[in-house]
Structure 1
Amino acid sequence: MTQVFETFGQQELRAALGRFATGVAVITTVADGEPVGMTVNSLCSVSLDPPMLLFCVGHRSQLHPLFAAASHFAVHVLSAQQVQVCQQFARPGRSRFGDLPWQPGQTGAPVLEDALVAWECAAERVIPAGDHDIVLASVRHLHPVRGNDPLLFFAGGFHNL
């Protein structure tokens, strides 16, 4: 490293964080009787016993209040062929499902049919953290792994293995 920033702005921090490759996930739930979903890359395993994971939702997101209040949701890892699904769930507005095939899961959360893997979860705690909330969840149901090439996000673009 040749340069160190003692002070930096959001743009520099965002560029630096973009050097960390992440998987891409879609989180879904039901709000007011309608399926809603959003794209995240802040998914993290927390514990195997008991099985737990977390994701983050930004305070500025239109869907923040819905996910912060949700009791159950489904978490889907997207495949390298699902860039369009990622973009569909990242766009503004509540209605993002379009004609994507899904079924209600055991918890009632919408489960997308073509994800690499899906977990149905129960919300355990919402933890405020800066301009986001961390949603800590227990895994209640596992939908089997299908395929093997995940969608990756790195340096502002989509990639695969």
Structure 2
Amino acid sequence: MAERSTSVVTAGRFREVMRAYPTGVVGVTAATDRGPRALLVGSFFSISLRPALVGFCVGEQSTTWPDIRRAARFGIGILAADQQDLGRTLAAPGPQRLAGVPWRPSSAGVPVLPGVLAHLECVPVAEHPAGDHTIVVAEVRSVRSLRDHQPLIFCHRTFGTVADARSGDRQVRSG
């Protein structure tokens, strides 16, 4: 296999290379003093088992994260492969992403997204500035598996499935 030439690390070149790496897709939700809020995150990861910690990255330009940050608890919904429309809704600009989404409140009042694979309820532990993003660390206070299905992933600038990524398709299918 021929190696592609290396180049100076520019934002565009870095984005081009990194978009070939598939990421899982989650919705972060909270009941805030300004109403229910949600945002889509593609940088979500497990950090620790004891205590149960997860992390995700939020762009510094996010207008939704400041509202979610102020909530005592927030939810993380792991999206399923058949939830591409919900993913697009949560990625849309503006604070009213949950308008028209039939979410339900958890026992703690945190919005639970419909049809997700799992729902985690978390409390914020720390934030770390990292370039043009913030790394958020959260302690998981409750976790529920809600359905058995493939996860939704994002790769090559589109939604798809793990099977699509494994097949070696240059363009991950959506649909």
> TM-score normalised by the shorter chain: which range applies?
over 0.9
- 3-state SS in 2 of match to 1:120: strand
TM-score (norm 1): 0.92
Matching of residues 7-156 of structure 1 within 5 Å:
7-156=8-157
Deviations 1:15-73 (A, max 9, x none): 11101111111000122151100011000000111111001111111113223433311
Hey, which of these two has a bigger chunk of strand by percent? 1
Gaps of 5+ in 2: 164-175
User: How far is 1:99 from its partner?
Assistant: 2.6
CA contact (8 A) 2:37 2:68 kept: no
CA contact (8 A) 1:68 1:135 kept: no
User: How far is 1:152 from its partner?
Assistant: 1.1
User: How far is 1:101 from its partner?
Assistant: 2.2
More displaced, 84-93 or 70-79?
70-79
Distance 1:73 1:51 in 2: 15
User: How far is 1:106 from its partner?
Assistant: 3.5
Distance 1:16 1:70 in 2: 35
CA contact (8 A) 2:80 2:150 kept: yes
Distance 2:65 2:37 in 1: 11
Gaps of 5+ in 1: none
User: How far is 1:4 from its partner?
Assistant: 1.8
Query: What amino acid is aligned across from residue 104 of structure 2 in structure 1?
Result: Q
CA contact (8 A) 2:34 2:67 kept: no
Distance 2:131 2:57 in 1: 11
Cα 1:114–1:8, aligned 2, differ >3 Å: closer, same or farther?
same
Distance 2:130 2:34 in 1: 29
More displaced, 27-36 or 135-144?
27-36
- 3-state SS in 1 of match to 2:141: strand
Aligned positions, number: 160
More displaced, 56-65 or 34-43?
56-65
Per the alignment, residue 6 of structure 2 pairs with 4
Q: Relative contact order (C-alpha < 8 Å, sep 6+): which is higher?
A: 1
TM-score (norm 2): 0.85
CA contact (8 A) 2:23 2:153 kept: yes
Distance 1:21 1:65 in 2: 27
CA contact (8 A) 2:32 2:70 kept: no
